[in-house]
Structure 1
Amino acid sequence: MVLLRAKCILIGNSKVGKTALAQTFHSEGTHFPKSYSLTTGVSTCVKTVQIPDTPHSVEMYILDSSGNELYSDLVVHYWENPSMVALVYDVTDPQSLASCPMWLEKVRSQKPEIAFPGALIANKSDLTNRWVVNSEEGRRFADGKGLAYFETSAKDSIDVDAPFLYLATEYYKLYEDRVRGLIN
């Protein structure tokens, strides 16, 4: 059995639900934070993800990064050697999607020579009456940047596991490819 360790950078504007996603995923849907204090800097949670159809797993260190520009110099320090990126926007806030290219560039600039798995997460899908960023817009951006696209609701614990399972599985596949390259 292989246990890989991976650093997952969770990024996006303030108030898109990054902390709620991380906490809901970490607690397997049993905990949704009812009150918030904005993340200052980076908070970390760790969860082991079993890779489907294998005995292997990935221990994900999820770095929930502040979306406040005031802390941007501080959080970049924690982003060294990323293994994967989860980019989050709020479906009720068009500006949060418009900021995604900037966030993605900040993370990718940490290791520009290395391709690592990425996911674009459209959060707050439960707010159907306030949804203004259409899914096609998000999918187009994700496709153009080589990211997988997911729609989630941390509040209702809808599909919260899907992007993290995808990232862990893709990271494991990269590991397998490297091992095969060494063997052949």
Structure 2
Amino acid sequence: MATHCFCFCFQELFLFDSAGKEIFSEMLEKLWEQPNALCIVYDVTNEQSFSNSAKWLEKLRTQASGIHIPGVLVGNKTDLIDRRVVEQKQAKDWAETNGLEYCEMSVKEMENYEAPFHIMANAFHRLYKERVETFHSLV
């Protein structure tokens, strides 16, 4: 399973899902002009999927140089307990080191699947409030 990377734009809410496919990378870079939040999803049963998270984060940070972009790293497929290779602590530490929140889910079991969207919505709302306050301070 490939790593997924989602980005949000501020004026309107757009979700871009690359499905971890390199073929979409160039197209996404054009769409990522000014992302405001991100969500990187990896497969807890696939070490390469987790490693690809760093690649996607680096691509995004290169695109948005000098701007802090809040986001979340999401471990998916937690229902596959016996096949897990990426431990929660390892992923959580990586996320924290990279300024991201962390959560896990199982889409198959419909377990905690809403968490990343709540995290992203909260980040998006915080950015909106900050920009409104900035605008009001200029008026």
Q: TM-score range by the shorter chain?
A: 0.7 to 0.9
Sequence identity (%): 36
Contact preservation (8 Å) 1:17, 1:124: no
Match of 1:134 in 2: 87
CA distance in 1, matches of 2:12, 2:128: 13
Match of 2:128 in 1: 175
CA distance in 2, matches of 1:169, 1:163: 10
Match of 2:43 in 1: 90
Match of 1:55 in 2: none
CA distance in 1, matches of 2:135, 2:23: 44
Tell me how far 1:163 sits from its aligned partner: 0.9
Flag structure 2 segments of 5+ consecutive residues without an equivalent: none
Paired residue type of 1:151: E
Contact preservation (8 Å) 1:17, 1:154: no
Flag structure 1 segments of 5+ consecutive residues without an equivalent: 1-14, 23-57
The structure showing larger relative contact order (alpha-carbon pairs under 8 Å, at least 6 residues apart) is 1
In structure 2, the CA distance between the partners of 1:17 and 1:66, relative to structure 1 (3 Å rule), is closer
Tell me how far 1:183 sits from its aligned partner: 2.7
CA distance in 2, matches of 1:16, 1:70: 12
The counterpart of 2:101, out of the listed 148, 155, 165, is: 148
Alignment TM-score, normalising by the size of structure 2: 0.84
Alignment TM-score, normalising by the size of structure 1: 0.65
CA distance in 1, matches of 2:3, 2:29: 19
Paired residue type of 1:63: F
Match of 2:31 in 1: 78
Number of aligned residue pairs: give it: 133
Q: Does 1:165 align with 2:124?
A: no
CA distance in 2, matches of 1:72, 1:18: 11
The counterpart of 1:103, out of the listed 56, 72, 91, is: 56
RMSD value over aligned CA atoms? 2.2
Tell me how far 1:66 sits from its aligned partner: 3.6
Q: Does 1:67 align with 2:67?
A: no
In structure 2, the CA distance between the partners of 1:141 and 1:81, relative to structure 1 (3 Å rule), is same
